[in-house]
Amino acid sequence: MTDLVVALGLVLAVEGLLFAAFPEGVKRAMIAAAETPSERMRIVGLVSAIVGVGIVWLIRGG
């Protein structure tokens, strides 16, 4: 459970840095995401989740 909280903290830190460093770029990215078809977003989300789980599995020793 500690690892999950640390991972969430890291996500918040990275997102915070992106919002602070590139606010206009983040706004453009959000607009582009809002205009992207739901099916494409779903596929990208699933692929990202699979890759993320794969990375954790490899690092943690499977």
Q: Are 33 and 41 in contact (CB under 8 A)?
A: yes
Give the 3-state secondary structure of residue 37: coil
In the predicted model, is pLDDT for residue 3 greater than 90? no
pLDDT recorded at residue 55? 92
Domain residue limits at 51: 2-60
Number of domains forming the structure of the chain:
1
Q: How far apart are CA 55 and CA 14, in angstroms?
A: 18
Chain segment 9-54, per-residue pLDDT in tens: 999 999 999 999 999 999 999 999 999 999 999 999 999 999 999 9
pLDDT recorded at residue 1? 84
